[in-house]
Amino acid sequence: MSEQHFREVPGPRAWWERLFHEPARPDWVRRRPSAPWLVVATVCIGAFMGQLDASIVTLAIPSIKTDMNASLAQVEWVALIYLLVLVGSISAIGRLADMLGRKLLYTYGFALFTLASLACALAPDITWLLVARAVQAVGAAMLQANSVALIRTSMPAGKLGQAIGLQGAAQAVGLAMGPSVGGLLVGAGGWRWVFFVNIPAGIIGVVLGWYLLPRTRIKAPKVRLDWAGLLLLLPAAGALLLTLSETSRIGFDNPVAVGLLAASLVLFTAFIFWEKRAPHPLVDLGLFRTGTFSRGISTGLMSYLVLFGVLFVTPLYLEAAHSMPPGKAGLLLTILPIGLALIAPLAGTLADRLGPRVPTSAGMCLAAASLAVLAFSGGNLWLAGTALGGIGLGLGLFTPANNATVAAAGHTNQAGMVSGVMNMTRGVGTSLGVAFGAVLYVLASGPASAVGHAAASSAGFQLAVGAFAAVALFGAIWAAFGKRQAAP
């Protein structure tokens, strides 16, 4: 649609159409040989900020509680509501992006994320902060549902793995910097600066997205959004995440946890039943009949479970069993995402050349072996650091190849849907890792861990990390069944 056409449309309708119109990139951008890599660079800003924000906010929770005179239950929702809204809405947003345009929703998502960050920073009370966090999560979902899809539809053949590897490296760097940046910001200026820091990056992201991202050339047909599916998926995902969040404190056998889990299973069953019959489903379940896609999603879930489970239980163990200060524990823990960030771009190139089977299975094998070493590292910090680096290298080897395989599934006009499912899997895997890690840690260590008993904490850590090693090993075996063809 040309600019001349817009001038011919009278009245308010012109503004409405402009609002939902994706502008073309400038000629000097579109004609550059490096234009696809400019897309990757732009998407990496969002990937970096998304993971930075996910890991940075937890450090601000105690300060928020004190400053706002809020209860622990209220302040815990600052992190929880973000995850609930993100996971529950991301599939619908991916579907909308396929119809309306991925550049449009990505750029508007960055703008919404930035404005919501400002609202969080200026929040006068806990209610305002929780509402702003929910809006911020919608913006983050608009970013995440389109990031991989934009890379898939922009990169030439044979470069998808390398590009997704760079995006994975950006996510890992954001995750690694979160604890240290969060600690500095909270210490220097208070918890509000944890949200203020998003604003300059968000402005840069909006400008670059508007000028460097390509228009969506192949869109899905514009149909009525599957509202019934969304109304089933939102509470289903919410009940599951609440179950996983609460079980670390109340146990799996608590009536509340059992009820939430049962509700989640019923709602997910109803969602699947509806999606099979819906004329325009929110998620095309036919994708899961493809072995490559279902295997990629399931092993990806395992990798996120392992990653975030280790990131959760390791600082508990180091502080309880070895009296390590939180700052030092966080510094040791950054070895893992640094290892992931270093290997991910090279792993993506390897996946483009050899196909996904070798890097995915080898990466999960390396992660499993490193987890076994970590479980029995005892007080040897050099051995623990080496094991954490090995876990990062293994997951960094696995992730680009796996994500490239999943991202290439389906038709081009389904790229947003696929990206939404992939990122929803990350959210569920994150919660699973934290929940199972917490339950296994407490199960083995018992009440003694609450007072820092070293032997009890070591037992809990060994059980949890040993279980993660078993999950990684199973993931390696499952990934080895993949085909040998080159990654798309």
> Is this model's pTM higher than 0.95 or not?
no
User: How far is residue 140 from each of residues 2, 67, 144, 191, measured CA to CA in Å?
Assistant: 30, 26, 6, 20
pLDDT tens digits for 222-250?
878 888 888 888 888 888 878 877 766 66
- Phi-psi region at 411: left, alpha or beta (left = phi > 0; alpha = psi -120 to 50): beta
Taking alpha carbons only, the member of 17, 198, 178, 186 closest to residue 111 is: 198
Confidence category of residue 488, pLDDT binned at 50, 70, 90: very low
Average pLDDT, the chain: 82
203 and 334: one domain? no
- Domain membership flag for residue 475: yes
DSSP string covering 215-261: P--S--------HHHHHHHHHHHHHHHHHHHHHHHH-TTSHHHHHHH
8 and 80: one domain? yes
Tell me how many domains the chain contains.
Answer: 2
The mean pLDDT of 153-177, rounded to a whole number, is 79
Asked if residues 302 and 276 have their Cβ atoms less than 8 Å apart, the reply is no
Q: Is 376 helix (H, G, I), strand (E, B) or coil?
A: coil
Confidence category of residue 451, pLDDT binned at 50, 70, 90: very low
**Residue written as tokens 């499912």?**
421
pLDDT tens digits for 60-104?
777 888 888 887 677 878 878 888 888 888 888 888 888 888 888
103 and 183: one domain? yes
pLDDT tens digits for 277-323?
888 888 888 878 877 888 888 998 999 899 888 888 888 788 777 77
Let me know how long the chain is.
488
pLDDT tens digits for 199-217?
998 999 999 998 899 888 7
Range of the domain at 359: 283-488
Q: Is 338 helix (H, G, I), strand (E, B) or coil?
A: helix
pLDDT tens digits for 82-93?
888 888 888 888
- Domain membership flag for residue 228: no
199 and 305: one domain? no
- Domain membership flag for residue 268: no
* Cα separation, 443 vs 440, whole angstroms: 5
Taking alpha carbons only, the member of 72, 85, 79, 70 closest to residue 127 is: 70
- Domain membership flag for residue 9: yes
Q: What is the CATH number of the domain that holds 310?
A: 1.20.1250.20
Residue 409 identity: A
* Cα separation, 436 vs 468, whole angstroms: 9
| pLDDT exceeds 90 at position 260 | no
Confidence category of residue 480, pLDDT binned at 50, 70, 90: confident
* Cα separation, 209 vs 198, whole angstroms: 16
296 and 212: one domain? no
* Cα separation, 257 vs 481, whole angstroms: 35
More confident residue, 377 or 366: 366
The mean pLDDT of 444-467, rounded to a whole number, is 71
212 and 320: one domain? no
- Domain membership flag for residue 465: yes
pLDDT value at position 1? 40
* Cα separation, 143 vs 109, whole angstroms: 6
Angle at the Cα of 168 from the Cα atoms of 164 and 174, rounded to 5 degrees: 145
